[in-house]
């Protein structure tokens, strides 16, 4: 049966109304108090969930999964906080990253000299010969099933991109990244790091865009964690300010991220015995 225009209008109205009811989820953020919360809304109006998904000391989230670390335990969780896999570790500061599905989950364990990854069934660690690494690893990324990439901040301040074999643990190649300094993060094909002008976003052809986040930032002040596949959570250790940075191959947008809602105040409980004694 062919629908007439009179019938199409109500259907169109219902469709538009349904589209407006849902608030888009933008990502998941670990805040300074350790709470891990969903962030929804629009870039100009971000909303932080009142109820935490979990708590963590370090975290990284893509659109579908996340890696979180708390009390010696690394967990791979889904978007609702359900644990898909976990592994105990002696690390205190593991480096976590996940930028796609569960197969991209990776963690650098410096004390164990190992990389932890999801093999489809569990989080499995493989030893890495890190004797050739002459600095601090600031970023880890799965390149394929057999190779991972580490960014290493060298003692002189330069940054090297190091490819390691996940099968043998050996370093395959090491290349200096021109212009990059300190702690560097990779977002799609861009390098993201702090420089003298704020947050720098550099493309593969060397074109650099600077984002002025604050009037003055001390060196090594910005911390970056992934909150979704296209979103980064950037926070300032000195000021406590935080931002959500949307960055993909065609768009760059910075939004101020509000703090998490305060915990609800519990009603005061009056001891009946004390109350009776006071009468």
Tally of domains within the chain: 3
Residues 188 and 249 in one domain: yes
Distance of CA 29 to the CA centre of its chain: 7
Assigned token pair, 125: 């660690």
Does residue 71 fall inside a structural domain?
yes
Does residue 275 fall inside a structural domain?
no
Residues 160 and 246 in one domain: no
Instruction: Report phi then psi at 8, rounded to 5.
Output: -70, -35
Residues 93 and 58 in one domain: yes
Measured distance CA(255)–CA(46) in Å, rounded: 8
Query: Contact 87/129 with Cβ under 8 angstroms?
Result: no
Residues paired with 249 in a beta bridge? none
Residue 135 sits in a domain whose CATH number is: 3.10.450
Q: Give pTM, 2 decimals.
A: 0.84
Residue 96, domain extent: 25-41+49-127
Residues paired with 145 in a beta bridge? none
Q: Which of 147, 182, 217 is the last residue of a domain?
A: 182
Reduced to 3 states (helix: H, G, I; strand: E, B; else coil), residue 279 is: coil
Residues 216 and 232 in one domain: yes
Q: What pLDDT tens digit does each residue of the chain (279 aa) get? A: 333 333 333 333 333 333 444 679 999 999 999 999 999 999 889 999 999 999 999 999 999 999 999 999 999 999 999 999 999 999 999 999 999 999 999 999 999 999 999 999 999 999 999 988 889 999 999 999 999 999 999 877 789 999 999 999 999 999 999 888 889 999 999 999 998 889 999 998 889 999 988 778 898 899 999 999 999 999 999 999 999 999 999 999 999 999 999 876 666 554 444 444 444
Does residue 224 fall inside a structural domain?
yes
Q: Which of 118, 150, 182 is the last residue of a domain?
A: 182
Q: Which of 137, 152, 182 is the last residue of a domain?
A: 182
Q: Which of 1, 71, 3, 67 is nearest to 30 (CA)?
A: 67
């Amino acid at each position: 049966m062919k629908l007439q225009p009179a019938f199409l209008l109500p259907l169109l109205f219902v469709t538009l109304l349904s589209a407006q009811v849902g608030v888009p989820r933008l990502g998941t953020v670990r805040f300074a108090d350790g709470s891990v919360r969903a962030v929804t809304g629009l870039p100009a109006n971000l909303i932080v969930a009142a109820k935490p998904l979990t708590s963590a000391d370090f975290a990284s989230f893509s659109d579908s999964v996340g890696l979180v670390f708390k009390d010696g335990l690394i967990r791979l969780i889904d978007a609702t906080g359900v644990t898909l896999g976990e592994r105990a570790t002696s690390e205190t500061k593991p480096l976590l990253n996940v930028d796609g599905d569960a197969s991209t989950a990776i963690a650098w364990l410096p004390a164990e000299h190992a990389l932890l990854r999801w093999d489809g069934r569990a989080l499995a660690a493989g030893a890495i010969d890190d004797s050739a690494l002459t600095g601090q690893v600031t970023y880890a990324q799965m390149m394929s099933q057999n190779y991972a990439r580490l960014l290493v901040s060298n003692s002189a301040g330069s940054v090297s991109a190091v490819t390691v074999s996940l099968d043998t643990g050996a370093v395959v190649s090491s290349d200096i990244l021109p212009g990059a300094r300190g702690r560097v993060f990779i977002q799609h094909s861009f390098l993201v790091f702090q420089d003298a002008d704020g947050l720098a976003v550099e493309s593969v052809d060397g074109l650099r865009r600077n984002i002025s986040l604050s009037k003055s930032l001390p060196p090594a002040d910005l911390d970056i964690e992934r909150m979704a596949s296209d979103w980064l959570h950037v926070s300032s250790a000195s000021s406590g300010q935080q931002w959500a940075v949307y960055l993909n191959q065609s768009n760059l947008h910075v939004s101020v991220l509000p703090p998490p809602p305060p915990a609800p105040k519990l009603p005061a409980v009056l001891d009946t015995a004390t109350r009776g004694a006071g009468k």
